[in-house]
């Protein structure tokens, strides 16, 4: 049986999830996701971060087929979230004497999820654990993605097991390593993962990157997505760019529209932005495109135009989730404008403007609120000029 090896004694034993529709039950997974796990076989055997519970049978089969009767000595828990940890109890049942390795913040949540754990090893920043020829070293990465998150560095192979950091959506389609695939296929799914999971803690992600930069790294092995061995500079560059919120030239036009009138306005706004020279104009209907995709492009591009029709004096309901996510994740330094339809009450644009103020974005044009449909020349011009103003601010 052919095993997937990172080095002679370090194995990939992860699984692909092509079944789950929604990651964390709210983000779509059109390309699936992988839960990566790694096995280091030495005088002692270490299993690094297990997988999601629905894949237990496949996972244990993979582990056992590498170990051929040997036992797991250490189970390393870099992160408690159940997409990795929900097989912990089963692994403990399978390997009774395994010692579970985490840091001072690991075990309270882990035991709250899965009950008491007997054999604990608590490691601190920089501490090492010898497996024989391999030595694990632990570095804390708080809030990337939870308070207890840490990364594990194997000193002889110079591999960083980074858990959520440097991970991405997208199941692994045969290619496990970055040099076995077309990276362009994975980039969008990586940024979407970043923008919706890591982006909220961009500063902590940056600190983790700075901390890792002191190490000699030959491979980054995250718990989702590709293993990085040939394009380390590329992935570090992307993560640094996203963490520093260095956005690209482009405009996202996102709208919520009940009867198509605010949608017609969005088309005019987009046309204004395109004619002002923006080649990357992305138009989204918030009722059709799941919010994580829109957040990903908001993270990417400098310009954001949000349109909402009124709904009982407030804004179109589906827009509320997007605005909530924007306020929660706080993408920075956007050139921003709002527009929308009044319906019979107005209020959609007013509510959007309130959120814009809270978000401290750079409002570059006066909001446009249209009665009925955009059929009057003056409304058409205002919307077109709004798109143009955002485009010019982005280019400026």
Of 13-21, 79-87, 376-384, 386-394, the window that binds ligand FEO (rule: CB under 6 A) is: 79-87
To ligand FEO, the closest distance from the beta carbon of 386 in angstroms equals: 38
Of 76-84, 120-128, 178-186, 262-270, the window that binds ligand FEO (rule: CB under 6 A) is: 76-84
Q: Are 48 and 14 in contact (CB under 8 A)?
A: no
Of 12-20, 56-64, 75-83, 348-356, the window that binds ligand FEO (rule: CB under 6 A) is: 75-83
To ligand FEO, the closest distance from the beta carbon of 79 in angstroms equals: 6
The residue among 85 and 367 lying less far from ligand FEO, judged by its C-beta, is 85
H helix count then E strand count, the chain: 12, 24
Decide if residue 178 touches ligand FEO (CB under 6 A): no
Site string for ligand FEO, 206-245 (x = CB under 6 A): -----------------xx---------------------
Q: Which residues pair with 311 in a beta bridge?
A: 314
The residue among 292 and 385 lying less far from ligand FEO, judged by its C-beta, is 292
Decide if residue 379 touches ligand FEO (CB under 6 A): no
81, 148, 154, 189: which one contacts ligand FEO (CB under 6 A)?
Answer: 81
Strands 135-140 and 128-130, bridge-based pairing: antiparallel
To ligand FEO, the closest distance from the beta carbon of 100 in angstroms equals: 17
Strands 33-35 and 159-163, bridge-based pairing: unpaired
CA dist., res. 44 & res. 101, Å (int): 13
State the residue for tokens 């400098």: 302
Q: Residue 3 class from Cβ within 10 Å (0-12 exposed, 13-18 middle, 19+ buried)?
A: exposed
Decide if residue 148 touches ligand FEO (CB under 6 A): no
Decide if residue 84 touches ligand FEO (CB under 6 A): yes
145, 264, 302, 311: which one contacts ligand FEO (CB under 6 A)?
Answer: 145
CA dist., res. 74 & res. 101, Å (int): 7
To ligand FEO, the closest distance from the beta carbon of 7 in angstroms equals: 24
To ligand FEO, the closest distance from the beta carbon of 50 in angstroms equals: 12
CA dist., res. 41 & res. 73, Å (int): 10
Max Cα distance, the chain (Å): 78
Coil vs helix vs strand at 364: coil
The residue among 161 and 316 lying less far from ligand FEO, judged by its C-beta, is 161
Q: How many residues bind ligand FEO (CB under 6 A)?
A: 8
17, 48, 78, 83: which one contacts ligand FEO (CB under 6 A)?
Answer: 83
Of 12-20, 80-88, 236-244, 286-294, the window that binds ligand FEO (rule: CB under 6 A) is: 80-88
Q: Are 79 and 51 in contact (CB under 8 A)?
A: no
Which ranges of the chain does DSSP label H, i.e. alpha helix? 56-67, 82-85, 88-94, 107-114, 183-193, 202-212, 232-243, 261-275, 291-300, 317-329, 348-359, 377-395
To ligand FEO, the closest distance from the beta carbon of 14 in angstroms equals: 12
164, 178, 369, 379: which one contacts ligand FEO (CB under 6 A)?
Answer: 164
Please work out, in degrees rounded to the nearest 5, the angle formed at the alpha carbon of residue 87 by the alpha carbons of 86 and 88: 95
Note the residues at the interface with ligand FEO (CB under 6 A): 79, 81, 83-84, 145, 164, 223-224
């Amino acid at each position: 049986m052919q095993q997937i090896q990172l080095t002679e004694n370090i194995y990939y034993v992860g699984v692909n999830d092509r079944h789950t529709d929604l990651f964390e039950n709210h983000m779509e997974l059109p390309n699936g996701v992988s839960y990566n796990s790694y096995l280091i076989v030495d005088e002692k055997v270490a299993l690094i971060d297990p997988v999601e519970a629905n894949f237990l049978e496949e996972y244990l089969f993979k582990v056992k087929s590498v170990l051929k009767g040997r036992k797991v000595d250490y189970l390393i828990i870099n992160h408690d979230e159940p997409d990795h940890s929900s097989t912990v109890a089963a692994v403990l049942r399978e390997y009774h004497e395994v010692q579970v390795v985490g840091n001072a913040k690991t075990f309270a949540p882990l035991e709250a999820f899965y009950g008491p754990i007997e054999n604990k090893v608590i490691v601190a920043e920089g501490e090492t654990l010898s497996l024989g020829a391999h030595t694990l070293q632990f570095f804390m990465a708080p809030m990337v993605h939870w308070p207890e998150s840490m990364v594990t560095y194997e000193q002889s192979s110079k591999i960083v097991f980074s858990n959520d950091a440097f991970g991405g959506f997208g199941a692994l389609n045969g290619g496990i390593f970055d040099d076995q695939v077309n990276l362009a296929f994975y980039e969008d799914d990586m940024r979407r993962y970043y923008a919706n999971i890591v982006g909220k803690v961009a500063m902590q992600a940056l600190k983790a990157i700075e901390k890792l930069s002191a190490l000699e790294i030959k491979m980054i092995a995250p718990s989702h997505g590709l293993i990085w061995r040939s394009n380390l500079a590329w992935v570090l560059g992307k993560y640094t760019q996203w963490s520093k919120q260095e956005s690209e030239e482009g405009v996202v036009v996102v709208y919520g529209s009940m009867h198509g009138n605010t949608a017609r306005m969005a088309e005019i706004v987009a046309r204004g932005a395109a004619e002002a020279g923006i080649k990357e104009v992305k138009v989204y209907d918030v009722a059709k495109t799941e919010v994580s995709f829109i957040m990903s492009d908001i993270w990417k591009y400098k310009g954001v135009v949000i349109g909402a029709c009124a709904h009982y004096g407030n804004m179109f309901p589906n827009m509320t989730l997007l605005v909530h996510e924007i306020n929660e994740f706080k993408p920075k330094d956007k050139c921003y404008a709002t527009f929308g339809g009044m319906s019979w009450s107005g209020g959609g644009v007013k509510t959007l403007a309130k959120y814009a103020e809270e978000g401290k974005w750079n409002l570059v044009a006066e909001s446009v609120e249209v009665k009925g449909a955009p059929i009057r020349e003056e409304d058409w011009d205002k919307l077109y000029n709004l798109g143009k103003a955002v485009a010019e601010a982005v280019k400026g």
